[in-house]
Amino acid sequence: MAYDKFTVLQSTAVPLPNENVDTDQIIPARFLKATEREGFGDNLFRDWRYDVEGNPKKDFVLNDRTYSGKILVAGKNFGSGSSREHAVWALYDYGFRCVVSSFFADIFKNNCLNIGVLPVTISPEFAELLFTAIAADPNTVVEVNLPQQKITLLATGTSESFDINEYKKDNMQHGFDDIDYLINMAAEIEGFAASR
């Protein structure tokens, strides 16, 4: 469905440097039993966030009030594994609008773009710089500028460009989705389908 428009986001960021965070960690399978897209944020990183009795684990970053914000800065190979879009729904529902990593799994990245959470791929060096800056000052503000395709650490002005294809960029900026596009080419699709 059409989603929030994304242009420029300025926010503090939550660091999660773990590598190979798979979608089973982002939202475990046992919490996928819904028929509507609501409330998934409660179970975001469930088994890292809560112990078996449901008490918050103090050492997990989402339970540390030092860190907050709409940007998640994640480690390498974020979102691997299952294609569950619920992982992105959970991030969105929790309040994240942008995920930054030096390396994303393909399906996860697609899912992000399809619901309007911006995946920003940066160099490993810039990722390291972000982790260091956030550790030094958890209130440091990161700007993600989609029109300019640029991510900036505002305190120092250090920035890096990121890639996104023009079509997806336009969709994100206007809150359009692919179905809007596909429905508009129904006649072409019908012609093609008839030939198969």
Partner 1 sequence: MEKNTLFDKIWDAHVIKSVPAGPDVFFIDKHFIHEVTSPVAFLNLKLRGIGVKYPNRTIATPDHNVPTVDQDQTIKDKLSRMQVEKLRENCAKYSIELHDLGSAHHGIVHVIGPELGVTQPGMTIVCGDSHTSTHGAFGAIAFGIGTSEVEMVLATQCIMQSKAKKMRISVEGTLGKGVTSKDIILYIISKISAAGATGYFVEYAGSAIQSLSMEARMTICNMSIEMGARGGLIAPDETTFAYLKGKQYAPKGADWENAVAHWKTLKTDDGAIFDKELVFEAADIEPMITYGTNPGMGIKVTGTIPTTKGMEGSNKTSYLKSLDYMGFAPGEAVKGKLVDYVFVGSCTNGRIEDIRAVAQFVKGHQKAENITAWIVPGSREVEKMAHEEGLVKILEEAGFELRQPGCSACLAMNDDKIPSGKYAVSTSNRNFEGRQGPGARTMLASPLTVAAVAITGRITDPREVFGN
Query: How is residue 54 written in tokens?
Result: 């449901």
- Least spacing, CB of residue 35 vs partner 1, in Å: 4
Q: Is residue 75 part of the contact set for partner 1 (CB under 8 A)?
A: yes
- Determine if 106 is a binding residue for partner 1 (CB under 8 A): yes
Q: Is 58 in the site for partner 1 (CB under 8 A)?
A: no
Task: Examine residue 61 and tell whether it contacts partner 1 (CB under 8 A).
Answer: no
Residues 6+ apart with CB under 8 A from 61: 14, 15, 16, 67
**Pick from 11, 22, 41, 140: which binds partner 1 (CB under 8 A)?**
22
- Contact predicate 131/17, CB 8 Å: yes
Query: From the CB of 189, what's the least distance to partner 1, in Å?
Result: 6
* 42 binds partner 1 per the rule CB under 8 A: no
**Binding piece for partner 1, criterion CB under 8 A, among 27-35, 54-62, 137-145, 152-160:** 27-35
- In 122-161, DSSP assigns E strands to 142-145, 150-153, 158-161
Which helix (DSSP H) or strand (DSSP E) does residue 100 occupy? strand 98-101
Give me the least distance between CB of 143 and partner 1, in Å please. 24
Nearest to 122 by CA among 174, 79, 164: 164
Nearer to partner 1, 1 or 8 (CB): 1
* CA 142 to centroid of chain Cα atoms: 15
